[in-house]
Chain A
Amino acid sequence: MHPIIATLIKRIGLGFVSLFFVSLIIFSSLNLLPGDFVEAVLGQSRTEETVATFRKELGLDKPFHIRYVKWLSAAVQGDLGSTFSGRNASYANQPQQSTARTVTGLLKPRLYNTFFLAAMTALIAVPLSLFLGITAALYRNTFYDRTVNASALATISMPEFFVAYILIICLASIYQIFPSLSNVTASTPFFERVYLSILPALTLTLVTVAHMMRMTRAAIINLLSSPYIEMAQLKGLSRSKVILEHALPNAWAPIANIIAFNLAYLIVGVVVVEVVFVYPGVGQLMVDSVIKRDIPVVQGCALVFALTYILLNLIADVISIITNPRLLYPK
């Protein structure tokens, strides 16, 4: 077997191990949170009896480890359980009439929205930052390089909501090109969806490009003092050939890592932007569920976030392995 495949299998295995530990942390830490869903829902009128019945119905009367095993084994099969909310106190006595939705059912459309926005942003931001990073490295210390760097720093220094509101003022209010609300629904047609999502996508592009572009530039410039770059120059190759053919192929590993990091951010860290544009993504759902103490939903969101992080980092790892001939072609 090619050693790369063994390495990949090992990485994937390690990914599962981390996912397991993350699930344990998610489950146990949410149990430590103050406040209790049952008491919050039943309110002032609760009696010990109704509390106990409701707890039993939600399965909260069982000990921690049993609940964890049950939750995890269901989660592995794609079932993240049912939401707490949607049931209310009156149903406590008649559990069969519960209208609680499944967490997966609740999560799916939200997740689709989040991935849609992330993908749209990535499609703009990744090529843009690679282009800017490479050209900045190529023309380093020129006016172009300084301008790109300074504007990237400016956008990264502003809070996202501020960037978002500026875009709204410019592109939705003064020039009414794009809508300021991105309230997409499951039935929104594709192109309208793209149109509605442009402002949040632009906001996210502005806040992520700086990071990716600067790291791309740094990764390339870092290699420019290597003897093989000098060798390439002394072969009479043009500057762009030296950068594109000799520096860039050796810079993919750090670049892939920083891109993965930013893509993960686009999925798990965009709640502020979702709130500004009223975009129905997972971030909002998670915040709402925390407020309502709807633990299964919070757990579901956290698990999806963890999975995204691990998967993206795995991909970055794979890229750094396959772009390294030392690993790809062993002695």
Chain B
Amino acid sequence: MSTNNTDSSILLEMKNVSIEGYSDESWHPIINQVDLSIRRGEVLGLIGESGAGKSTLGLAAMGFVRSGCRFTGGSVLFNGKDLTKMNEREKQKLWGTKFSYVAQSAAAAFNPAHRLINQTIEASVSHGIGKQDQLQREAIKLYREMQLPNPEEIGDRYPHQVSGGQLQRTMTAMAMTSKPDLIIFDEPTTALDVTTQVNVLATIRNIVKEHNTAAIYITHDLAVVAQMADRIQVLRYGDTIEESETNNMLKTPKEDYTKSLWAVRSIKKKEKKTTDSILSIENVDASYGSGPKVLQNVSINVPKGGTVAIVGESGSGKSTTARVITGLLPPQKGRIFFEGKKLEANLDERSKENLRRIQMIYQSPDTSMNPRHTVKDIVGRPLEFYHNMKGNEYSKRVIELLNLIELDESFIDRLPSELSGGQKQRICIARALAAEPELIICDEVTSALDQIVQEGILKLLLRLQSEFNISYIFITHDIATVKAISDEVVVMHNGYVVEQGMKSKIFSPPHPDYTKLLLSSVPEMDPKWLTKILSSQKSKY
């Protein structure tokens, strides 16, 4: 990662770029007079939360705006020509040749109907850059550089036949085939598990460096951008907050907002040892239908008034464990105890009282709330169902609950669509609280939220725990969140429990192999982290 790019010439320069988007029957600003420049071979990190305008700005660097958006000012100069003044055909000549784009979700950005190799070389073929078979050979070479398994044959597969990490690497290869001057990476590793992310980050970094390609790397994760970028630009609400060399940015961020991007990493709950158990599951096996076993001999103990974090990659069985506990998926084997008494395996057989005591909060508040119900209906439903509340008492309690989650009564008649992401998740918390449960299962409740909003939600959950002595099962793939709020930690992998113990014990060596891999894969702020982790992994083999 060289920072001595001073002698290189400017490749792309955006000046005073403004972009508006159309919604609710009027035009709203998305980007406000932002400047951005990139030298040849330089990697610029673009960081900010959702809605900051990162993707819009990244696409604008190619002269592209999504439908429903428009340029309202400024210029995008590439080789002295203004992209905003070009017509569609002139821009199409640059796209896929001089510019390439790597999208956030590779699974969605590959056309399900075509083989990978054809999609990889499609841009070069249609721009007449080379012959089909020669391009295919080059693509295979790139596949090899991207460390894809079976580089000769993987291209013959369809997108659904390879894993997410492989697809993401294929997409990077696809972006490289035309040897572009600039690649826009739009959150290329956000959808991946941490252990997969390390490899993808490493291959992207190497290939960009070797081909001396300039890149804009868009992400919301500062630790990731620290590994990738020479320079970082922080965006918020379509404005540039600050911009400087990576090392300076990490050591001495000037703006409060930039500092707040570390927010969650700054919460540290003191771990509390509790011997009383509220829930325990013993030797549980479970599967969906007649499929393979998703859980194998899983035993987990939840301390009363404490928080157990279940961590693991996607497919490790975290959410299935939650479904078993709530009775949505009766296990094939094993037992569930709640406060020492055996709990019926099937939801339908549980008493109303037992149902009330375990509540759940989901990852996506958008899909877990009925969009046509008001906040009052949503929060009030458990009041009616479990506590037979009506009329005045009901309304009063809804307002009480709203106050508990730090919202005022003006929210009572709003629909979910009139709330922000964080407010929606708070309403879901209020709905769980309304039942007055003893255990709340939080399934990735902060994954879809921005850092600052995440911090607010986690603080709220911690406060509610200390006030009402509620126990939490906190399912997450994010190690920073685990460190922030848990007392005990369960590490899961492929349906097995790898280990369970107090937070301090899990996070200090010696670790089982998998935990070690998982922990070492979490990006750290140190810009040399990726290099270090790669060399330590290499030295092992």
Contacts and interface: CB of A to CB of B under 8 A. Distances in A.
Given A230-B103, A234-B101, A326 B112 contact: yes
Interface in A288-331: 323-326, 329, 331
A329 B159 CA distance: 10
A234 B160 contact: no
Nearest to B104: A227
Nearest to A246: B111
Interface residues of B, number: 32
A236 B103 contact: no
Contact of A331 (B62, B123, B160): B160
Contacts of B111: 228, 231-232, 246, 249-250
Contact of A236 (B97, B108, B114): B97
B150 to A, nearest CB: 15
A237 B126 CA distance: 7
Given A249-B114, A250-B111, A325-B113, A234 B158 contact: no
A177 to B, nearest CB: 44
B103 to A, nearest CB: 6
B112 A236 contact: no
Given A227-B103, A227-B109, A237 B122 contact: yes
Interface in B86-112: 91-97, 99-101, 103-105, 108-112
B122 A235 contact: yes
A236 B161 contact: no
Contacts of B157: 329
B412 to A, nearest CB: 34
Given A227-B103, A250-B112, A236 B126 contact: yes
B541 to A, nearest CB: 28
A163 to B, nearest CB: 37
Contact of B160 (A227, A228, A233, A326): A326
Interface string B420-437: 000000000000000000
B161 A329 contact: yes
Which among A234, A325, A329 has the highest number of chain B CB atoms within 10 Å?
Answer: A234
B124 to A, nearest CB: 9
A231 B126 contact: no
A236 B95 CA distance: 4
Nearest to B111: A228
A309 to B, nearest CB: 28
Which among A228, A237, A325, A329 has the highest number of chain B CB atoms within 10 Å?
Answer: A228
B153 to A, nearest CB: 13
A142 interface: no
A77 interface: no
A29 interface: no
A233 B64 contact: yes
Interface in B39-92: 59, 62, 64, 66, 91-92
B15 to A, nearest CB: 22
B463 interface: no
Contacts of A329: 157-158, 160-161
B387 interface: no
B127 interface: yes
B62 A234 contact: yes
Which among A231, A238, A246 has the highest number of chain B CB atoms within 10 Å?
Answer: A231
15 contacts: A227-B104, A227-B105, A231-B110, A233-B64, A234-B59, A235-B122, A235-B123, A236-B97, A236-B126, A237-B123, A241-B126, A250-B112, A324-B112, A325-B160, A326-B160
Interface of B: 59, 62, 64, 66, 91-97, 99-101, 103-105, 108-114, 122-123, 126-127, 157-158, 160-161
**Shortest beta-carbon contacts, A-B, top 3:** A236-B95, A236-B96, A235-B123
Given A236-B126, A237-B122, 14 more contacts: A227-B105, A227-B108, A228-B112, A230-B103, A231-B103, A232-B111, A234-B100, A236-B91, A241-B126, A249-B111, A249-B113, A249-B114, A250-B112, A326-B160
